[in-house]
Amino acid sequence: MRREDDRRAGCPRSAGGQGGGASLLRWAALLAGFAALLWFVIRVLPKPSRAAYPCQRAAFPLAAGFVAWLAGAAGSFALLRGVERAFARRARVAGSLCAAAAIAVVWCLLGTNGPELVLGEAHAVNAPIGVGRGIHPGRVVWVHDPAAVKWEGQGRWWEGGHTDQAVVDRMLSRALRALTGESGDGAAWDKLFRHHNKERGKGEAPYKPGEKIVIKVNFVGLIWREGGVDAETYKLKEWRENYMNTAPQVIIALMRQLTAAGVAEADLTVCDCLAYLAEEYYAIIHGAFPKACCVDHEGRDGRAAAKDSTVPLYWSCRPEGCRQDYVPTCFAEAEYVINLANLKAHTGAGVTLCAKNHCGSFVRWPAQKDYFDMHPSAFAAGEGRYRMLVDLMGHAHLGGKTLLHLIDGLYSGTHPIDRAPSKWRSEPFDGGWTASLFASQDPVAIDSVGLDFLRAEWSGYPHKSGTDDYLHEAALAHDPPSGTFYDPNHAAPTARLGSLGVHEHWNNAREKRYSRNLGAKEGIELVAVGAKP
């Protein structure tokens, strides 16, 4: 498959064979401009405050471009009428001038893709929405250390000789300190626990021995129904050996941190309810922490099987005729959750980061018969729509218990079409592995940053319309563009979710500056930590 060059941001396209495509693009742009104008008028005229919604900010340039194009077309017809009248009166000079002006206008119209002239970037940069969360609101830490990854395509990237555990340990330590502003790891964890408990209305309480913590990893390459793991031997099949699952080294680094901070090994659970925890991964995790609990879909050979609790989750679109969903027991019994996702593009959703990681926090398949189908509202398709990811981010036992959000960006790729990770060309990777780790207390901010990184590298899937719609909905969950009453904790709309975090896009891919980096008091702050202390 020759996808590598075509999907990269900034790659030139072939100049040949584009006449028909350009024509189709022009008509598509005109239709999109008309639709945007209609949408803007219908939504904003009854309630002018909606003009501030992200979907309306995205629609306005298209609508304005269409109006400008329409005005130009009308102007050209008016000039042509002027030519006809001038020559009828034998005013040849005036007629010639009108003809020249008409030709110039028509030339401009034919030489553009309609509203594309005005469209440019559909999503405004440095225009934050929502309320930042965390000790330092809206802070996202990015640690980049190429020394962590040494794989050159031979063997498996997650084997010890290819991913350096000591470097990954150091990366997580530096991320925690930068996130909290503390100089030591123990102090950083204490500050995280106290802040999280205060936010949940439990007072500024520290971690108490015996409290359970679930680490929700992303083992999507090991999903039980997709054949990547042999159901008999529990070993990886060859075509899944190098898939972009959460790196065992990041899991080990996190478990080392937690046990050093006073959490008993037996109170830790590593979980992906939809996956077979393959023998190769299990051997690494269980070998380092034999007393910790590993929960997978099957529950064989030392693992525990994922089971539903009695804690319900209600979808805010209020689907009818569907079986009730419940939070798995390991989440219901835990006091804290750590969301450990991956940095990946996604063919359907555009990206898959911390929010979508919770699609694996269910025992049943997302599109299982008789249940609410999660996929349509999770996939990128337009803006201003109900997004089930907001329900996962806002449920009391999932997002509500999440102490820390992490994105493993050691190796990156596109789900589900890549069998192995890809090196990146964008700055500062410059042909190397992404070799990154992201950390935040703000679930919206960390996914916003992950999205911007993926958009800077890939020209395709992360740019799909609606990719960041769930972030708009989550940031404005109290008054979302879709109008949804988000309340996943009650059978009927009762207690509307508040803002779940802050969303915006950086100023550009080279500087990577968000509003707080530019001196504003609102928005995201990206703290970049290089390879050297």
Q: In tens digits, what is the pLDDT along the chain, a chain of 533 residues? A: 323 333 344 333 333 333 444 345 445 556 766 776 675 667 655 654 444 444 554 555 556 555 555 665 565 555 556 556 655 565 565 555 555 555 554 444 444 333 332 322 457 899 999 999 999 999 999 999 999 999 999 999 999 889 999 999 999 999 999 999 999 999 999 999 999 999 999 999 999 999 999 999 999 999 998 889 999 999 999 999 999 999 999 999 999 999 999 999 999 999 999 999 999 999 999 999 999 999 999 999 999 999 999 999 999 999 999 999 999 999 999 999 999 999 999 999 999 999 999 999 999 999 999 999 999 999 988 899 999 999 999 999 999 999 999 999 999 999 999 999 999 999 999 999 999 999 999 999 999 999 999 999 998 999 999 999 999 999 999 999 999 999 999 999 999 999 999 999 999 999 999 999 999 999 999 999 986 65
For residue 412, the number of C-alpha atoms closer than 13 Å in the C-beta half-sphere is 30
Least Cα distance to 278 among 156, 421, 442 occurs for 156
pLDDT value of position 203: 96
Q: Report yes or no: 109 and 69 within 8 Å, Cβ to Cβ.
A: yes
Q: What value does the CA radius of gyration of the chain take, rounded to a whole number of Å?
A: 26
pLDDT value of position 22: 39
Question: Could you give the dihedral angle defined by the CA atoms of residues 152, 153, 158 and 164, in that order, rounded to the nearest 10 degrees?
Answer: -10
Q: Report yes or no: 444 and 474 within 8 Å, Cβ to Cβ.
A: yes
pLDDT value of position 530: 83
Q: Report yes or no: 261 and 189 within 8 Å, Cβ to Cβ.
A: yes
Q: What is the pTM of this model?
A: 0.80
Question: Could you give the dihedral angle defined by the CA atoms of residues 346, 351, 357 and 359, in that order, rounded to the nearest 10 degrees?
Answer: -60
What span, in angstroms and rounded, lies between the C-alpha atoms of 8 and 346? 14
Q: Report yes or no: 115 and 33 within 8 Å, Cβ to Cβ.
A: yes
pLDDT value of position 124: 81
Alpha helices in 45-140 (DSSP H): 54-88, 92-110, 116-119
Strand segments, DSSP code E, in 372-507 are 402-415, 436-440, 502-503
What span, in angstroms and rounded, lies between the C-alpha atoms of 72 and 67? 9
What span, in angstroms and rounded, lies between the C-alpha atoms of 275 and 406? 20
Q: Determine which helix (DSSP H) or strand (DSSP E) holds 448, and give its type and residue range.
A: helix 443-457
Q: Report yes or no: 332 and 295 within 8 Å, Cβ to Cβ.
A: no
Residue 478, amino acid: H
Distances (CA, A) of 339 to 53, 208, 362: 28, 20, 14
What span, in angstroms and rounded, lies between the C-alpha atoms of 340 and 218? 7
**Tokens in use for 291?**
């007393």
Distance of CA 212 to the CA centre of its chain: 27
Angle at 404 between CA 368 and CA 410, to 5 degrees: 80
Angle at 25 between CA 19 and CA 28, to 5 degrees: 145
Helices 19-44 and 54-88: crossing angle, nearest 10°?
110
3-class SS of residue 328: strand
Quick one: CA dihedral 474, 479, 484, 490, positive or negative? Answer: positive
Angle at 244 between CA 239 and CA 248, to 5 degrees: 110
Q: Report yes or no: 353 and 407 within 8 Å, Cβ to Cβ.
A: yes
pLDDT value of position 365: 92
- Exposure letters 406-415 (e unless 16+ CB within 10 A, then b): bbbbbbbbbb
pLDDT value of position 44: 55
What span, in angstroms and rounded, lies between the C-alpha atoms of 261 and 34? 58
Quick one: CA dihedral 220, 152, 437, 526, positive or negative? Answer: negative
What span, in angstroms and rounded, lies between the C-alpha atoms of 275 and 255? 20
Helix and strand counts by DSSP (H, E) for the chain: 14, 14
356 CB-contact burial (10 Å; exposed 0-12 / middle 13-18 / buried 19+): buried
